[in-house]
Structure 1
Amino acid sequence: NGVGTNSAPFWRMLLNSFVMAFSITLGKITVSMLSAFAIVWFRFPLRNLFFWMIFITLMLPVEVRIFPTVEVIANLKMLDSYAGLTLPLMASATATFLFRQFFMTLPDELVEAARIDGASPMRFFCDIVFPLSKTNLAALFVITFIYGWNQYLWPLLIITDVDLGTTVAGIKGMIATGEGTTEWNSVMAAMLLTLIPPVVIVLVMQRAFVRGLVDSEK
């Protein structure tokens, strides 16, 4: 049931990993879509500058960003919490860029028709932009869920409470160091259980995922 004397039961780690991955996925998609929507369709000063400021963050290695981010989380008293696990990973320059490129392919006639009908920006987003983005959403959902599920370094830096441990970090804790003995049967069983959720997500969303990748290349 557990992975060590100082570890939570493995089912609890699976639950924590699912909450983390699902929260990161929903948050990243929401933030990225709304950011790209604002940059493409709202006319405000320096909007292109804001976009490039977001895009430039892709050039910063993770090693440069991770320790300042840990310090911010510590100052905000969010260590050992789901908020600390998920909030810093919800912003994504890549997803914002992909949604921006897709939104720019939508014809201006849609915007004009919405304005003539008196639709508000959020109604235009919910009724027109969101439905047209479903294939892109499916592709990004799969990629982002796997990204969140496979997080290893971030939980190690943020979490000290064993009840908030995640599966990937938990498996590392199952491997003995020094003169300890590793129960490899338990390690392999844990690895197989850890593989199940991402595989299920890919199989369930396979068609939409492939269609989203193909549409994004057009």
Structure 2
Amino acid sequence: MMKKRTKRMIRVIILEILLASISVVVFAPFFLAIVMSIQPSEFVFVFPPRFLPKGFHWQNYVQAFKVVPFGRMILNSAIVAVLITFGKLVTGTFSGYAYSNFKFRGDKISFYIVFATLFIPVEIVLIVPLFRIVSKFGWVNTYWAMTIPFMASATNTFLMQQHFKTIPKEFEDAAKIDGANSMQYFFKIMLPLSRPIIAGASIINFTYAWNMYLWPLIVAMEDKMKTVQVAVNMIMNAESSQNWGVIMAATVVALLPTLLIFFALQDLFVKSLVSSGLKG
């Protein structure tokens, strides 16, 4: 009995050491970016390298906002990311609910067609047709062009459809007995039960939308409509491109919103992973 406990304890210790080592490796680039962002340029490439900051040079952050209209670009990214995330959640939950709870002519064929779009790299294959369409609508340099083409995705439809199929049909039967129609059942029962999976999808969609680079670079030609990822590249190409403290300051600011969203929803995100793993 003692040998089994000892072996189990050794396995746990080894696993924790392994996870801690992986965490250090994953966090190291972000930590290095923070250290570089608060150092003067002459200390960034000193040898031996400094892994702990010597003082705080906050001017790098101030300079990052002066090189380009960084504040406006952060606002643009926030608006675009929120709208795309909201649109994907709405279209994904409704379409996933339709495919999981309703039978209609062509439902399987249409679902397979939607699923097949997962294999199409939208920002590469469809970039020219999309630009021609938004140009004809007069949407260049607008939020419409940066958000509407990405407000629906097969990923969300498939994810929500698979989740809704795990909810017992007895719940729907009980709701119908109580006089609830399909939409009442969806809003009062299905959505509250889907909070973890919706939180997980929100993190994934927001991160994707926040980190979009190619499409905003093409469709937003004016600086006032560009997004934060484009702003970081503009700072790298500006006169201060040799000042990596300023570049890292802009990078850290660009990373913060996605980290805050993850930490705010991490409990629900973990629950979504656990529940999806337990249910197959």
Matched, 1:81 2:142: yes
Q: Who is 2:127 aligned against?
A: 66
Counterpart of 1:175 in 2: which secondary structure? helix
Indicate yes or no: 2:159 matched with 1:98.
yes
> What amino acid is the match of 2:225?
L
Q: Please tell me the residue identity of whatever aligns with 2:89.
A: I
- Give distance in 2, aligned partners of 1:215 and 1:66: 37
Cα 1:184–1:109, aligned 2, differ >3 Å: closer, same or farther?
Answer: same
Q: Would you say the 8 A contact 2:141–2:225 is kept in 1?
A: yes
1:173 to 202, 213, 234: 234
Structure 1 distance, partners of 2:74, 2:197, is 27
Aligned residues: 212
After TM superposition, give the deviation of residue 36 of structure 1 in Å.
0.9
User: Do structure 1's residue 160 and structure 2's residue 221 form an aligned pair?
Assistant: yes
Residues 123 and 70 of structure 1: CA distance in aligned 2, closer, same or farther (over 3 Å): same
Once the 2 structures are TM-superposed, how far is the Cα of residue 41 of structure 1 from its aligned partner? 1.7
2:240–2:246 Cα contact (<8 Å) kept? no
Residue deviations 1:134-157 (CA, integer Å, cap 9, x gap): 010111111111111101001011
- The structural deviation recorded for 1:66 is 2.3
CA deviation map 1:172-193 (0-9, x unaligned): 111237xx55243322211111
Contact kept in structure 1, 2:142 and 2:225, CA below 8 Å: yes
Distance 1:169 1:30 in 2: 28
Higher relative contact order (CA 8 A, sep 6+): 1
CA–CA distance in structure 1, aligned partners of residues 240 and 90 of structure 2: 45
Q: CA–CA distance in 1 between the matches of 2:67 and 2:84?
A: 25
Does the alignment pair 1:19 with 2:107? no
Residue 264 of structure 2, aligned match among 204, 207, 215: 204
Aligned to 2:33: none
Structure 1 stretches of 4+ moved >6 Å: none
Q: Indicate conservation of the 8 Å contact 2:100/2:162, yes or no.
A: no
- Please name the residue that 2:70 is paired with: 10
Aligned mates of 2:240, 2:212 — CA distance in 1: 26
1:51 shift after superposition: 0.8
Structure 2 counterpart of 1:116, which letter?
I
Q: Following the alignment from structure 2 to structure 1, what is the Cα–Cα distance between the partners of residues 139 and 179?
A: 43
Whether the 8 Å contact between 1:3 and 1:171 is mirrored in structure 2 is no
Native 8 Å contact 1:29 1:140 kept in 2: yes
CA separation of 1:214 and 1:67: change in aligned 2, threshold 3 A? farther
Tell me how far apart the structure 2 counterparts of residues 2 and 85 of structure 1 sit (CA, whole Å).
Answer: 25
Q: Secondary structure at the match of 1:205?
A: helix
- Separation (CA, whole Å) in 2 of partners of 1:159 and 1:52: 34
Contact 1:3 / 1:170 at 8 angstroms: preserved in 2? Answer: no
Gaps of at least 5 residues in structure 1 are none
Quick one: distance in 2 between partners of 1:214 and 1:65? 35
Question: Hey, what's the Cα distance between the residues in 1 that align with 2:162 and 2:227?
Answer: 34
Tell me the equivalent position of 1:189: 249
Q: Secondary structure at the match of 1:77?
A: coil
2:177 to 108, 116, 138: 116
The alignment partner of 1:45 has SS state of coil
Distance 1:115 1:185 in 2: 61
Decide which of 194, 214, 218 is 2:274's aligned counterpart.
214
SS in 2 for 1:2: helix
Higher gyration radius (CA): 2
Question: 1:135·1:208 contact (CA, 8 Å) conserved in 2?
Answer: yes
For 1:113 and 1:199, the matched residues in 2 are separated by 40
The CA deviation string for residues 32-81 of structure 1, in whole angstroms up to 9 with x for no partner, is 00011112222221111111111010122232122222222222221111
